Amino acid sequence: MMITITPAAAQQIKTSAQQNHMEGMPLRIAAMRNADGSVHYGLGFDDTKDKDLTYNSEGVTLIIAPNSIDLLSNTVIDYVKLDNGEMNFIFKNPNDPNYHPAQ
């Protein structure tokens, strides 16, 4: 199991933590499968719970609950400009049937 964030995502996470006075808080990443098989994601600063798995990527501490691990295996989180011009996080997740890597 490996989850990583890109340098762009790490910078945005650190900026958000600073703006919200959450410096030093780990980032919780959650995932659950929807009825149609797609994956729903959640991100937020949170305290570590007993059974959480902890990862470090690009200087950011990531925490994941055991029930999200399989869905997030080998996911890369990036921060990119979307087609509408807005900046947002995207999940490059091989476990999500809606994810199609660029050819």
> Which band of pLDDT confidence, cut at 50, 70 and 90, is reported for residue 92?
very high
Q: Does pLDDT of 6 surpass 90?
A: yes
Residues 16-28: what's their mean pLDDT?
93
Within a domain: residue 73? yes
Which CATH number fits the domain that encloses residue 79?
2.60.300.12
Within a domain: residue 63? yes
The number of distinct structural domains making up the chain is 1
Which of residues 11 and 97 earns the better pLDDT score?
11
Per-residue confidence (pLDDT) for residue 8, from 0 to 100: 97
Residues 63-75 have pLDDT tens digits of 999 999 999 999 9
Residues 28-46 have pLDDT tens digits of 999 999 999 889 999 999 9
Within a domain: residue 103? no
User: Residue 18's domain spans which residues?
Assistant: 3-92
SS3 readout for the chain: CCEEECHHHHHHHHHHHHHCCCCCCCEEEEEEECCCCCEEEEEEECCCCCCCEEEEECCEEEEECHHHHHHHCCEEEEEEECCCCCEEEEEECCCCCCCCCCC
